[in-house]
């Protein structure tokens, strides 16, 4: 009978699965890779000495936490982008107020030059 350790199975699965490379050159695994590794680990474990349930639950909890943090980071980036857009709109509003003030002074000067008459 051939025995395959979970480390060997994880290494073979990790090398055959798709992974992404981050900007700093580190390889990161996604949810599909995690599920693939977990499935491989469960199918290749020794039936007489299965993996401890607490270890399995801890691994899944860590991945769940990581997934939540990743989603939070994406949401925070989106909010930051939208706040930047609002800042741009605020500066445009300030520019429009400045233009409006200048137009009002030009109109007042024209009215004064015309003797105070208004045109409709």
83 in the same domain as 42:
no
Per-residue pLDDT of the chain (120 residues; tens, 9 = 90+): 444 444 444 444 444 444 555 555 556 777 788 888 888 888 888 878 777 888 888 888 888 888 889 899 999 998 888 888 877 777 777 777 788 888 888 888 888 888 765 555
Which stretches of the chain are assigned E, i.e. beta strand?
Answer: 20-21, 27-28
Nearest to 31 by CA among 68, 75, 77, 86: 68
Q: What pTM, to 2 d.p., does this model score?
A: 0.43
40 and 75 assigned to the same domain: no
Number of domains composing the chain: 2
* Residue 55 forms part of a structural domain: no
Domain that includes residue 97, residue range: 71-114
Based on the fold, state whether residues 43 and 77 are members of the same structural domain: no
């Amino acid at each position: 009978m051939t025995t395959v350790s979970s480390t060997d199975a994880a290494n073979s699965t990790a090398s055959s699965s798709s992974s992404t490379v981050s900007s700093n050159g580190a390889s990161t695994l996604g949810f599909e890779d995690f599920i693939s590794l977990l499935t491989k680990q469960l199918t290749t474990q020794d039936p007489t000495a299965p993996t401890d349930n607490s270890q399995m639950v801890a691994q899944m909890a860590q991945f769940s936490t990581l997934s939540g943090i990743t989603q939070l980071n994406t949401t925070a980036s989106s909010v930051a982008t939208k706040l930047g857009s609002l800042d741009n709109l605020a500066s445009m509003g300030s520019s429009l107020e400045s233009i409006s003030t200048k137009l009002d002074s030009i109109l007042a000067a024209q009215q004064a030059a015309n003797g105070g008459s208004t045109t409709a």
